[in-house]
């Protein structure tokens, strides 16, 4: 009982730190193609893809009090409190059984970043940043017609503004630590994935 072998299975906080999973943050503006490329990375490199947005939307669908609060904040274009998103991410990581994660759309700001590292004791292996012009992202979002209520022009522009103001300092922070891998995301999907593959292949070779 209580041996070192058992320890990694206990508790969300402890287990994440003890297993020391590999975490890659995936950042880029709305419509930069993060979701599509994450699916390719999962298929080719065996990562588990955790989308902060998907986890939040699932919480909204659950009808919980937490979900209602999240829905109201998203409608107003505000950022959901760090502890709410981190808790959802930790839960998903613990339940996945994997030790390699793509965390998509998080951290959205410096406070998110600091809170994630503080709570989980995990620093990302690197940050995959999908760089795409606002015009191209807007064109993609308006064309995808997925029935998401946040895909109208006013909300899209609000989301761009929030992304620029909040996420760029996170990218700058990791850039200063040599952890940002910039991907030119306005190209066709196949070309973008060739660049992504090169990043993950060189990471595997470095290990």
Q: Name the binding residues for ATP.
A: 31-36, 144, 187
End-to-end C-alpha distance for the chain, whole angstroms: 33
Annotated binding site: 31-36, 57, 78-80, 105-108, 112, 144, 148, 159, 187
Q: Which residues of 72-87 are buried (b: 16+ CB within 10 A; e: fewer)?
A: eebeeeebbebebbbb
**142: region left, alpha or beta (phi > 0 left; psi from -120 to 50 alpha):** alpha
Annotated binding site for CMP: 112
Beta strands in the chain (DSSP E): 22-28, 48-51, 100-104, 126-131, 180-184
Of 104, 108, 136, 163, the C-alpha closest to 144 is 136
- The encoded tokens of residue 69 equal 């609060």
Q: Are 30 and 156 in contact (CB under 8 A)?
A: yes
C-alpha 77: how far from its chain's center? 18
Annotated binding site for a ribonucleoside 5'-phosphate: 57, 78-80, 105-108, 148, 159
């Amino acid at each position: 009982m209580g041996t070192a072998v058992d320890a990694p299975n206990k508790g969300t906080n402890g287990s994440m730190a003890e297993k020391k999973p590999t975490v890659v943050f995936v950042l880029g503006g709305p419509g930069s193609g993060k979701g599509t490329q994450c699916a390719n990375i999962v298929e080719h490199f065996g990562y588990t893809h955790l989308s902060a947005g998907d986890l939040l939307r699932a919480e909204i669908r659950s009808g919980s009090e937490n979900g209602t609060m999240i829905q109201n904040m998203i409608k107003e274009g505000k950022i959901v409190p760090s502890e709410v998103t981190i808790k959802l991410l930790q839960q998903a990581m613990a339940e996945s059984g994997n030790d390699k994660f793509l965390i998509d759309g998080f951290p959205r700001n410096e406070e998110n970043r600091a809170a994630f590292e503080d709570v989980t004791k995990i620093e990302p292996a690197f940050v995959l940043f999908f760089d795409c012009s606002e015009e191209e992202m807007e064109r993609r979002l308006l064309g995808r017609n997925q029935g998401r209520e946040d895909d109208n022009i006013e909300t899209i522009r609000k989301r761009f503004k929030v992304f620029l103001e909040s996420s760029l300092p996170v990218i700058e922070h990791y850039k200063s630590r040599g952890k940002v891998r910039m991907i030119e995301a306005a190209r066709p999907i196949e070309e973008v994935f060739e660049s992504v593959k090169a990043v993950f292949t060189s990471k595997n070779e470095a290990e």
